Amino acid sequence: MFGLTRCPHCLAASGGNRQGMTKKPLIISRADEQAVTIQNLSAEKWRFYMKKVCAFLMAVLIFGACTAQALPAMPEVSAPCAVLADINGNILLEKNSHEKRPPASVTKIMTMLLTMEAIESGELKYDDLLTVSEHAASMGGTQVYLEPGEKMSVRDLLKSVAVSSANDACVVLGERLAGSEDSFVSLMNKRAKELGMNDTNFVNCNGLHADGHITSAHDIALMSAELMKHEDIKQFTTIWMDTIRNGEFTLSNTNKLIKFYPGATGLKTGFTTESMYCISATAERNGISFIAVIMGAETIAKRSADASALLNYGFANYTKVSLMPNSEKLSPIPVNMGKKQSVDITLKSDSDMLVDKTIVKNMERQIAVEESLNAPVQKGQKVGTLTLKSGDKVILESDIIACESIERKSFFDVFWTCLRAMLMKPENK
C-alpha cells in the first residue's frame, strides 16, 4: 500500500510520547524563579491559567488542521504495482512502478497506438476491409470469433479490440500493418523504446501469456499517455456496449469504470492467471485528465477500487494552471540594427501544467527577458525565461523564444534609411 507520511510538525505539536505525562506537576508559568503548579493555584489563578491552556490547545488544533490540509493522505492500494500519472505521462504517485510483470491484454494499448498512428498518417482508413488469416482466427482467449477469409472493417476491428479485448482482431490489424504478427511485434518494441519504455518487451500483439512478455506500471502509463494524444480513440474506448456484423454480435466493455466512474474515458483491462487483474484507467473532468495503472490486483472489484482511488486522489488534489493567462501578453523586444525594429516573443511551451492545489495560492510568475537584441535574430532563439515559483521552490521554468527570424541591416539598408530621414526632414521656418 502507499505509505502515509506523517508531518513532523504535527508530531511535535501533539506532544510526541505521552508516557509519564501525569507523573510530573504541570508547570504553567514562572515567577520569582519559583514554579507555580496546578496544586497551588487559587481559584482565580486557576481560571486565568486554564484560559491560557485552552488558547494554546486551540492553536495546536488549528495548526494541525492546516498542516493536514497541506499534506493530503495518499490512497491505499492493495495491488502490488500501481501508478497515477497526468495525461502527459508524468508520474504523480507510484508503487513498485518499475517492477516487470506480464500485462495481459493491457498490451493492446500499443496495438491500438500503432493502429491510430497508421490511420492519422493515411496508411490505414477506418473503412478499409481487412481479410482474416488462419493465424488470426486461431487466437484463443477473448475474441470476436473471426473466421478465416472473413472481411471486417478497420473500424469494427479497432472497436472489437478497445471494447471486448479481441485477441483475433489484434492480429488482423498487426498483420495488415507489418505483414505478420512477428513483424508487428518488432514495431511494437521499437515504438516502446522510442517512448522510453525500458521495462518492456513484447512477444505478441494481444497479451496472451508468453515467456518474456513483460512491462511495468510506469511503462503502461507512458504508452497510455501517447495513445490518449489521439482524441479519436475515445470514440471506441468510451463505448459501454455496441455491436458488429450488422448488429449480430454484441460487444460489452471489459472496463466497468466506463459505466460506473464519472468522467471515465478508457482505457484497457487485462487478465491472465499469471498477470492477475490489470488496468490502465483514464478519466477526465473539467479539462483535467489522469491515468491510473494497476497491475496484479486479486479481483476485478479490487482492481476497480484501486484505480478509482488513484483517480479520485488526482481530481481531489491537483488543478490545472496556465503558464501565461490569455489576458496577458509578452511585449515585443526591440532589435538593434534589424530589418524590423522589434520581434514578437512567446513561450516555447505554453501548455497548461498540473500542480498541487495547496501551492496555487502562493504561486507567483516571474518573467525575465532581454531588454533588446542585436540582429540577426533567429526564430526560436531563447530571449528569456518564465519561472513559476511557490515560495523559494521553483515549480517550472519555460524558455521564452523569438517568434520569427529578423535579418541584420546591410550597409545599403543603413545608407538608405539615413538618406530617407534626411530627405523627409522638415525645413526650418
Domain positions in the chain: 8-70, 81-321, 333-411
Give the ranges where 148-242 is alpha helix by DSSP (H).
154-164, 167-178, 181-194, 217-227, 234-237
Catalytic residues: 105, 108, 165
Q: What is the CATH number of domain 333-411?
A: 2.60.410.10
All 3 cell numbers of residue 326? 490569455
The rounded distance, in Å, linking the Cα atoms of 274 and 415 is 80
pLDDT value, residue 6: 29
What's the mean per-residue pLDDT of the chain?
85
Q: Does the structure show a pLDDT above 80 at 248?
A: yes
pLDDT value, residue 26: 32
Q: Does the structure show a pLDDT above 80 at 116?
A: yes
The pLDDT confidence band at residue 72, using thresholds 50, 70 and 90, is low
pLDDT: which is higher, 57 or 93 = 93
CA angle (343, 344, 347) in 5-degree steps: 130
Q: Does the structure show a pLDDT above 50 at 40?
A: no
The rounded distance, in Å, linking the Cα atoms of 270 and 278 is 5
Q: At what angle do helices 108-121 and 167-178 cross, to 10 degrees?
A: 40
| SS3 of residue 16 by DSSP | coil
Beta strand ranges found along 216-328 (DSSP E):
241-244, 249-252, 264-272, 276-285, 288-297, 318-321
The rounded distance, in Å, linking the Cα atoms of 85 and 224 is 10
**Does this model's pTM top 0.85?**
no
The pLDDT confidence band at residue 156, using thresholds 50, 70 and 90, is very high
Beta strand ranges found along 357-424 (DSSP E):
363-369, 373-374, 382-390, 393-402
Tens of pLDDT, residue by residue over 356-398, are: 888 888 889 899 999 999 999 999 999 999 999 888 888 888 9
All 3 cell numbers of residue 4? 502515509
In terms of Cα–Cα distance, which of 128, 172, 144 is closest to 244?
144
Lowest mean pLDDT among 190-199, 238-247, 394-403: 394-403
The pLDDT confidence band at residue 427, using thresholds 50, 70 and 90, is low
Tens of pLDDT, residue by residue over 249-294, are: 999 999 999 999 999 999 999 999 999 999 999 999 999 999 999 9
The rounded distance, in Å, linking the Cα atoms of 72 and 319 is 14
All 3 cell numbers of residue 168? 483475433
All 3 cell numbers of residue 299? 479481483
pLDDT value, residue 63: 39
pLDDT value, residue 237: 98
In terms of Cα–Cα distance, which of 13, 52, 12, 47 is closest to 29?
52
Q: Does the structure show a pLDDT above 50 at 128?
A: yes
CATH of 81-321, one of 3.40.50.720, 3.40.710.10, 3.40.30.10, 3.30.565.10: 3.40.710.10
